[in-house]
Amino acid sequence: MKRTHRWQTALHYLILTAVALFFFLPVYYLIVGSFRPSTEVLSGLSGFVPTNLSVENYIGVFDHLSSDATGYFGQFAVVSIIVTTAVVAGSLFVNSMAAYSFARMQWRGKKVLFLLVIVLTIIPFEAVALPLYFMFSGQRDTIYIQAIPFMANAFSIFLFYTFFLDVPGEIEEAARLDGAGPFRTFFQVIVPITKPAFATVAILTFLAQWGSYLWPVLMVSDPTVRPLPLAISIFQNQQPPEWGQVLAFGTMFIVPVLAVFLIFQRWFVASISSSAVKG
Amino acid sequence: MTTQTQQIQAPTVPARRRSSAGLSGHRFAGPLFASPALLGLAIFLVAPFVLAVVLSFYRVQLNSPRPARFVGFEQYARLFTDPDLAAAFGQALLNNFSFALIVVPVQTVLALALAVLVNRKLRGMVIFRTFIFMPLVFPLALTAVIWRLIYSRGDQGLLNAILGLFSGGTLSSHDWLGDPATALGSIIVMSIWQSVSFQMIIVLAALQSVPTELYEAASLDRASKWAQFINVTVPGIRNTLIFVALITTIFSFRLFDQVYLLSRSGSVDRGSTETVMTQIINTGFDNNNVGQAAAMTVIFMLIITVIAIIQRAAARQRGGV
Amino acid sequence: MMTIPKSTSGARILTAAAAVSIAAMALTACGGPGTGSAGPSVEAGSGEGTINVWAVDGQAAENDALKKIISSFESSQSKIKVNLKLFPSDQYTKAVNSAAPGDLPDVLDFDGPTLASFVYNGKMAPLKGSVSDATLSNQTDSIKAQNTVDNAAYGVGMMNAGLALWGNKKLLNAAGVAYPTTPEKAWTAEEFTGVLDKLATVVPGGKPLDLSEQYGFAGEWGTCCSAGPVIWSGGGTMLKDNKASGALDSEANVKSLTKFASWKKFTDPNADGLAFTNGRVALSWVGHWTYPTYKALGSDLVSIPLPNFGKGTKTASGTFAWGMGATTKNGTAAGKFLDFLMSDESVHTYTDANGAPPATKTSLATSSLYGPGKQLQLLGDQLSKACGTEDKINDNCVSVTRPVTAGYPVVTDQVGKAEAAIYAGKDAKEALSAAARAIDQNFADNDGYKK
């Protein structure tokens, strides 16, 4: 008994290690490659060997992006942060309110509209990118046009909705007897007890928005409002391609997110878990 | 004015009939709460979609001084009768379907396997879990760059170098993205790497919510681990698995960024990896043919809608979601 | 009143959405991205103030050269300031095409073959009257051909582009391969296969050729510099009388491109861009812009004409040039800046940075790289043997200008896509026919892009 158990555990660790390698190697490759000369990034297995490390690539990235004409890395980062923060905040606000209305309030036409929202969850943004570009071409090169279209989100409404369905009715009842109106009820009573829902939507929205590519390509040409994902192609088009700089750029792009992610990992897993079981 | 309680699932609330008067004096609270999001969806999703329908009846070029010309159903007719267009659109649809047919079951099963794998309480499990989550934070533009390097043709490519190491050099210079036979498969592996951990978390949560008494009962019956898994675990998380399959289906039909970015590198036969989404963007923005792209959009949305309805109905019938 | 059918709010939403969409349609019908302006409306302006300049964010060395030229322009006079904006190259054409007339810059960079469509879409203004006649007449013939639309000059170029097979003399000698140095003596495609066979034995990976796969054949590189020379050298064209069917899908093109694809087995994918400088390959099919890195080989670096597919070796000419935005209010100042860009000093600064052949007569004459006995003599000679456009090709001319048509975006997308597919193993006849039909359909939908 004991022996097989130990053997099983060893096997378990072996499989885990293999799996972790598959997920981690590309990440490792990105980070190590960012500290190595471009000439050594693509050279078979030695791409994994951390030799000749230096911060040259990082200096190269900042050197290339060093004037008003090209824009600055910091500037792109600020744009990305502003847009992403605005989308996440806006999304939490409008989608939770709509979901609450659908889940807990009575009003005419509600059912039809909710059905419509469910149908809308399947329209991918790319499908309407072209007409949207037509509609808002006058707003090109602004920060707000990068953010506003993504705040209202059918899938987020659906996620919130599944949460709010489970809130016990007595809680609202008690709030009502205290004389709280719908706004106070929602913001002071409901929101605090459904934090995991907000965490889940915030994380999903953040991840989708942080790497957003197509819409900015269509709508942004001015470096002062350019988000990070658009700048990555600059380094690929060098002669020879500056793979090291591409990887350095990429590392700076994900390491902050990775750090935040690791800090909140427990919380993130817990919140997704609590929303998923309801699916 | 009696209204039903809106519970879709079994109500957890004592079924008290409450009319909107329950929020007396707040007759407009419901529509008011819902309006910002609905307005957003109307302006940024419904309106452009309606505009796509309108545009699909025109011959209209992007950025061109020529006025749009009304052509009725011409764009649709072309899509189905023009041999080239029909073939290309069919190929893209086929790619989408192959992708979905492979990715949905594979990714769901993998998510389950991974969840079972990390569900054991072993020392260091947090670290392994962290590794598995890492790809989730990669933006697609970056994922495409890294995997382009990994799949690089010739023995300089990382994947080829690794395979060469294990096969003693016999398998060392395959053109993963350039060979139509492996192009789609390569993109599938990349997609799984990127997103399977998200599905894994969902399944993991479901696993942990299966009542332990059921396992204890099964143990008393001398059921093997495998039998327990088949008879207790899988039924216990069936709804979650269906949910995962649903969202994976939707995501696999949305496939765009990775393919769009990868197909423009190296020597890739675009036809072998083109998805409907990349084709729409390519038609609209590279060939400037807005009317044609709009018609593709409309047809594609109809197809997805039908699939979603069938899936939901099937899930319902089996007592799920 | 109480019993409104349930669907009304849904219907109302849809009506509202439809209204918004129709409003959007109305918008796009007057000043949205779907409309060019009613032709250029240039004002001379005061000749002072700040001019906006748009350019592609190119190689680091090119950017530095451009900034240097601008700062010497600003210090050479005190009235005109330059406000430069650089765009990633994959987003540049979209940026120009989707700019509303009022947002266009005073001066902009453009890639030769996109000019006709920019002019057609009302993005560019003719230069005559703003740029001095001396500047216009100092342009070399092949660059003039590229920058002329409807007999008016819309652009001036500092540089031209040259293609060649760069060779590593040491490896060529090791394999006992004699190589041609003049266009007349170019290898035939058959001979070239034999050469590759020999060279395969002297390079470490057994793949002695670099075809610049890393740029992607499915894009502009595939059309201009890869499929283009192959097609033209085989006696074919992409278009004939504004039609692709019967031209692009001709037997000659099928044969040439199939031959080209057969070299894949000798080709290093060159994803790192270092195949040639690291000695992994002996021959590199690429443009002049690699010269600054390739010159590391010193005297081992030789330039060889591209293979001859039957009608003599051919290469593409034409590259990025400079023009004026259609609605500039500073025509005089923009003209002054363009004059300064085309001065010998600016052209040398720029072409020294990227190894390009100068595109003005006076700077070409004094170039340290291009000219009799200079290291890049071949590239210069090829450009001086200009064919003009596709329809004027003969056996002896070498450099060809890509099709000048407002429909070029479709042409390049389809030709590149077809070449990439053929190279990946698809049947050439099939790929080219499909591309030809798609191009013709698009031209027909737009009445052949006639104004």
Query: Closest Cα partner for A140 from B5, C363, C2, C96?
Result: C96
The b-or-e profile of C235-271 (16+ CB within 10 A means b, else e) is bbbbbeeeebbebbbbebbbbbbebbbebbebbbbbb
Contacts of A48 in chain B (CB under 8 A): 158
**pLDDT given for residue B75 in this prediction:** 93
* CA–CA min distance C86, chain A (Å): 5
For chains A and B, what is the number of CB pairs under 8 angstroms? 294
Contacts of C98 in chain A (CB under 8 A): 133, 137, 140, 218, 221
Query: For all residues of chain A together, what is the average pLDDT?
Result: 88
CA distance C170 to C160: 29
CA distance C393 to B201: 63
Instruction: Select the residue from A107, A171, A253 to test the B interface by mutation, using most B Cβ atoms within 10 A.
Output: A107
| C119 C-beta neighbours (distance < 10 Å), count | 26
CB contact under 8 A, C20 and B42: yes
Query: Closest Cα partner for C236 from C261, C259, C253, C255?
Result: C253
B19, A172 contact by CB (below 8 A):
no
3-state secondary structure of C322: strand
* CA–CA min distance B231, chain A (Å): 19
Which chain B residue has its CA at the smallest distance from C261's CA?
A: B267
* CA–CA min distance A66, chain B (Å): 22
* CA–CA min distance B72, chain C (Å): 14
Which chain A residue has its CA at the smallest distance from B121's CA?
A: A9
Place of tokens 């988000």: A227
Question: Is the pTM here over 0.85, yes or no?
Answer: yes
Which chain A residue has its CA at the smallest distance from B7's CA?
A: A165
Q: pLDDT tens digits, residue range A50-63?
A: 888 999 999 999 99
Residues shown for chain C: 451
Q: Which long-range contacts (CB under 8 A, 24 or more apart) does A4-10 make?
A: A9/B122
Percent of chain A with pLDDT over 70: 94
Query: Per-block average pLDDT, block size 10, for chain C (451 residues)?
Result: 36 47 46 45 88 92 94 95 92 87 92 93 94 96 90 96 95 96 96 97 93 88 95 96 95 97 93 90 95 93 96 93 95 96 96 93 92 90 90 93 92 94 93 94 90 66
Q: Which runs of consecutive H residues, i.e. helices, occur in chain A?
A: 2-33, 38-41, 56-64, 73-104, 110-120, 125-135, 144-147, 154-165, 169-177, 182-184, 191-193, 195-210, 214-219, 232-236, 243-263, 265-276
Q: Which segment, A89-93, B213-217, C21-25, is predicted with the most confidence on average? A: A89-93
Which chain C residue has its CA at the smallest distance from B153's CA?
A: C269
Q: pLDDT tens digits, residue range B95-121?
A: 999 999 999 999 999 999 999 998 887
Of A43, A135, A272, the CB nearest to B156: A43
Of A103, A130, A213, the CB nearest to B290: A130
Q: pLDDT tens digits, residue range B283-321?
A: 988 888 999 999 999 999 898 888 888 877 877 766 544
CB contact under 8 A, A213 and B205: no
Query: For all residues of chain B together, what is the average pLDDT?
Result: 82
Q: Which segment, A78-87, B54-63, B159-168, C5-14, is predicted with the most confidence on average? A: A78-87
CB contact under 8 A, B277 and A127: yes
Contacts of A29 in chain B (CB under 8 A): 146, 149-150, 158
* CA–CA min distance C306, chain A (Å): 21
Q: What is the mean pLDDT of the segment spanning B153-165?
A: 83
**In degrees, to the nearest 5, what angle opens at C-alpha B301 toward C-alphas B142 and B140?**
5
Q: pLDDT tens digits, residue range A132-176?
A: 998 998 888 999 999 999 999 999 998 899 889 888 888 888 998
CB contact under 8 A, C58 and A237: yes
- Whole-angstrom CA distances from A261 to A78, B108, B132, B136 are 19, 24, 13, 10
Q: What is the mean pLDDT of the segment spanning B204-223?
A: 81
Contacts of A132 in chain B (CB under 8 A): 44, 48
* CA–CA min distance C223, chain A (Å): 17
**pLDDT given for residue C451 in this prediction:** 66
CB contact under 8 A, B44 and A149: yes
Contacts of A12 in chain B (CB under 8 A): 117, 120, 122
B41, A152 contact by CB (below 8 A):
yes
H or E, element range at A72: strand A71-72
Query: Closest Cα partner for A201 from A164, A173, A254?
Result: A164
CB contact under 8 A, A254 and B142: yes
Of B23, B36, B297, the CB nearest to A127: B297
Sign of dihedral through CA atoms A60, A61, A62, A63?
positive
pLDDT band at B18 (very low <50, low <70, confident <90, very high): very low
What are φ and ψ of residue B124, in 5° steps?
A: 85, 5
Contacts of C214 in chain B (CB under 8 A): 265-266
Q: pLDDT tens digits, residue range B181-213?
A: 888 899 999 999 998 988 888 888 788 877 888
Question: Regarding beta strands C107-111 and C49-57, do their DSSP bridges make them parallel or antiparallel, or are they unpaired?
Answer: parallel
**pLDDT given for residue A150 in this prediction:** 96
What are φ and ψ of residue A247, in 5° steps?
A: -70, -35
Q: What is the mean pLDDT of the segment spanning B5-13?
A: 35
Q: Which two tokens stand for residue C446?
A: 């737009």
Contacts of C268 in chain B (CB under 8 A): 154
Of A218, A234, A240, the CB nearest to C57: A234
For the CA atoms of chain B, what is the radius of gyration? 25
CB contact under 8 A, A42 and B157: yes
Query: Closest Cα partner for C258 from C418, C436, C407, C118?
Result: C418
DSSP state of C358: B
**pLDDT given for residue B78 in this prediction:** 93
